[in-house]
A and B are shown apart, each in its own frame.
Chain A
Amino acid sequence: MANNVFYILAGISLLSALMAMTLRNLFHCALFWVLAMFGVAGVFLYLDSEFLAAVQVIIYVGAVTVFIFFGIMFTRNVMDERISVMNGQFALALIAAVGFAWITHKAIQESSFRGFEHPLILTQEAAPDTGKTTTLATLVSGPDASSNMSVENLAGDLLLPDRGFAYAFEFVSILLLAALIGAIVVARKEPS
């Protein structure tokens, strides 16, 4: 049963992704894309990453979708119903996508991680001593945190300077600010 959840989610995602890339109406494409993102968020949940699933829903299903719909409505041009939505490279694109899938399939077959049948279970005994000092994570969740992939650990990694990702996290916020300003500059009308 628990296995079927993953396969159902994956099937929904792949079907709606296929629809999003082939349908004619751009609004239908965007809505199927949203369904695919929901399916991916479900797979995130299945992989015990509840925080990232929530982030996925908030950012992709919430924010990016609003952006996309605004974009579609701003750039609506009446396309002739008989003109194809695909450009002239349809066959080449199909060959490239299928070829990439085939080569990567071969790589997965050859690789050693085909043997990874079960997710790792972090038991109390097996929990390795990571040598980290008392940090936000241990303060919040206590020493008996069952999963290392908890929100508290993630927040600790992103916010505490001694865990290595705090500066990168700050740089990402600068990147977002730069993208915000850049988008305004690019999209605004030239004052004539």
Chain B
Amino acid sequence: MSTVPLAHFLYFALALFSIGLFGVLARKNAISVLLGVEMMLNAVNINYLAFAKYWNWNSLTGPVFVIFIIAVGAAEVAVALAIVISVYRQFKSANVDEVHALKG
């Protein structure tokens, strides 16, 4: 029988989210940014499942939302990598700070 308090799950998810946020903001390579975004989505999923188990076991809304988030995340990865490949073909670089054709 598990006795880990709910707050520890929340802190774990918070740490994962913050690491992902840092990666999104600080990394140069677009694929690293994508990895950071996926990490943030996973942190959200942990929160959903922890609340589903600790708060409201009778409703499956949390796990169902996790399935939707995973599906949307997979779709996002497909589109984002297509954009990265397209940008690489145009600019010969996958670094987000070198792609500034729209910069005024």
| A residues in contact (CB < 8 Å) with B | 2-3, 6-7, 10, 13-14, 17-18, 20-21, 26, 29-30, 33, 36-37, 40, 43-44, 46-49, 52, 55-56, 59-60, 63-64, 67-68, 70-72, 74-75, 77, 84-90, 92-94, 96-98, 100-101, 104-105, 108, 113-114, 116-120, 122, 128, 130, 148-149, 153-154, 157-158, 165, 168, 172, 175-176, 178-180, 182-184, 186-187, 189
Q: Does more than half of chain B's interface fall in helix, strand or loop, or is it mixed?
A: helix
Are A26 and B22 neighbours in the complex by a CB distance under 8 Å?
A: no
- Which residues in chain B, 33-78, are within 8 Å of chain A measured between CB atoms? 34-36, 38-39, 42, 45-46, 49-50, 52-58, 60, 63-64, 66-68, 70-78
Are B53 and A120 neighbours in the complex by a CB distance under 8 Å?
A: yes
B32's partner among A26, A149, A183 (CB-CB below 8 A) is A26
- Which residues in chain B, 1-55, are within 8 Å of chain A measured between CB atoms? 1-12, 14-23, 25-32, 34-36, 38-39, 42, 45-46, 49-50, 52-55
Whether A176 touches B27, Cβ cut-off 8 Å, given contacts A17-B19, A94-B22, A97-B21, is: no
| B residues in contact (CB < 8 Å) with A | 1-12, 14-23, 25-32, 34-36, 38-39, 42, 45-46, 49-50, 52-58, 60, 63-64, 66-68, 70-79, 81-86, 88-89, 92-97
**Distance between Cα atoms of A154 and B46 in the complex (Å):** 17
Are B25 and A26 neighbours in the complex by a CB distance under 8 Å?
A: no
**Which of B50, B54, B81, B94 lies at the interface centre, i.e. has the most chain A CB atoms within 10 A of its CB?**
B81
Are B7 and A113 neighbours in the complex by a CB distance under 8 Å?
A: yes
Are A64 and B77 neighbours in the complex by a CB distance under 8 Å?
A: yes
Collect the chain B residues with CB atoms within 8 Å of residue A10's CB.
8, 12
Collect the chain A residues with CB atoms within 8 Å of residue B12's CB.
10, 13-14, 43
Are B35 and A117 neighbours in the complex by a CB distance under 8 Å?
A: no
Collect the chain A residues with CB atoms within 8 Å of residue B8's CB.
6-7, 10
Are B26 and A90 neighbours in the complex by a CB distance under 8 Å?
A: yes
Q: Does more than half of chain A's interface fall in helix, strand or loop, or is it mixed?
A: helix
Q: How far is the CB of A95 from chain B (nearest CB, A)?
A: 10
Q: How far is the CB of A111 from chain B (nearest CB, A)?
A: 9
A93's partner among B17, B25, B73, B82 (CB-CB below 8 A) is B25
Are B7 and A172 neighbours in the complex by a CB distance under 8 Å?
A: no
Could you list some 25 contacts between A and B, CB below 8 A? A10-B12, A14-B15, A20-B35, A26-B29, A30-B31, A36-B39, A40-B46, A43-B12, A49-B49, A52-B63, A56-B45, A64-B38, A74-B88, A75-B31, A77-B93, A89-B26, A92-B25, A114-B6, A122-B58, A154-B63, A158-B67, A182-B78, A184-B82, A186-B83, A187-B81
